[in-house]
Amino acid sequence: MLRIVLALISVATVMGEGCCPPDAWEGFEGLLAGSVQNGRTHLTKGGLMLHLNNTGKIIAIEEDLFVDDHEIKLKVIQDYNRGTEYMIIDGKCTKKTLEPWKPKCIPDDAQVVQNTYFGAGSATMAVKTYSFIDKGLQVYATATVNGCVPIVEAISGTTAEGVSTVDVVEFSGITPGIKDPSVFNIPSICNSVDIPFQYVPSLSRLRRSVFH
């Protein structure tokens, strides 16, 4: 009985508790997002390959998305040392200024809403689900207890731009480290031209995750 009481107390009071994903990792992210903007509904689905070096403050994402059934392939490099995000799409490079770097961790004031596991019997993996508000949106993020490796994330609400959204992403095939650092190389087409980011206005909002 005492154990049950203690467990309940810890679920109610334990906060983000320093859950930070591995320093460098790669993996797949599946995405399904619905949104309503100016009365029009949009459905986005697809997959991303993520490459993150948190020490190096650089992230590369290869995306294959279907936005309302139109396929879009793009590559994004977020170089926080230069403070610039590069988006390469259709052989064109666009640039945007990044917000200052923030560690990709569950916020310290997040609440643990579930302390559970995936699998069954002897094949289980302990996970925690955290709840918090990020830029006005409700986030539920689940990560492994051992190592804070991302598993699934659901984000919902209305953005500052007035877009109502529900995003669900799931992570799989994650490996620690970076196999080929050349994924972070900025293509030479990004040095010459400086096309404003408005070329693809909606795409920057399609990647919302506390983990990257």
Nearer to ligand NAG, 77 or 178 (CB): 178
Nearer to ligand NAG, 59 or 190 (CB): 59
- What's the rounded Cα separation, in Å, for the pair 49 and 52? 10
Nearer to ligand NAG, 85 or 167 (CB): 85
Q: In which residue are the tokens 């689905």 written?
A: 45
Residue 56 tokens read as 């190096």
Interface region with ligand NAG, contact rule CB under 6 A, candidates 31-39, 51-59, 82-90, 125-133: 51-59
Find the binder of ligand NAG among 19, 33, 139, 178 (CB under 6 A): 178
* Residue number closest to ligand NAG, CB atom: 56
- Angle among Cα 123, 5, 7 to the nearest 5 degrees reads 35
Find the binder of ligand NAG among 55, 122, 188, 192 (CB under 6 A): 55
CA 188 vs. chain centroid, Å, equals: 27
- What's the rounded Cα separation, in Å, for the pair 204 and 109? 26
- What's the rounded Cα separation, in Å, for the pair 14 and 108? 10
Interface region with ligand NAG, contact rule CB under 6 A, candidates 39-47, 53-61, 190-198, 200-208: 53-61
Interface region with ligand NAG, contact rule CB under 6 A, candidates 48-56, 108-116, 145-153, 187-195: 48-56
Asked if 175 interacts with ligand NAG (CB under 6 A), we say: no
Closest residue by Cα to residue 82 from 101, 65, 66, 67 = 101
Instruction: Classify residue 38 by burial, with Cβ atoms within 10 Å: 0-12, 13-18, 19+.
Output: exposed
Q: How far is the CB of 142 from ligand NAG (least distance, A)?
A: 25
Asked if 11 interacts with ligand NAG (CB under 6 A), we say: no
Find the binder of ligand NAG among 20, 24, 49, 105 (CB under 6 A): 24
Interface region with ligand NAG, contact rule CB under 6 A, candidates 10-18, 49-57, 84-92, 186-194: 49-57
CA 167 vs. chain centroid, Å, equals: 10
Are the beta carbons of 71 and 175 closer than 8 angstroms?
A: no
Closest residue by Cα to residue 165 from 208, 128, 109 = 208
Asked if 181 interacts with ligand NAG (CB under 6 A), we say: yes
Q: Which residues bind ligand NAG (CB under 6 A)?
A: 24, 53, 55-56, 177-178, 181
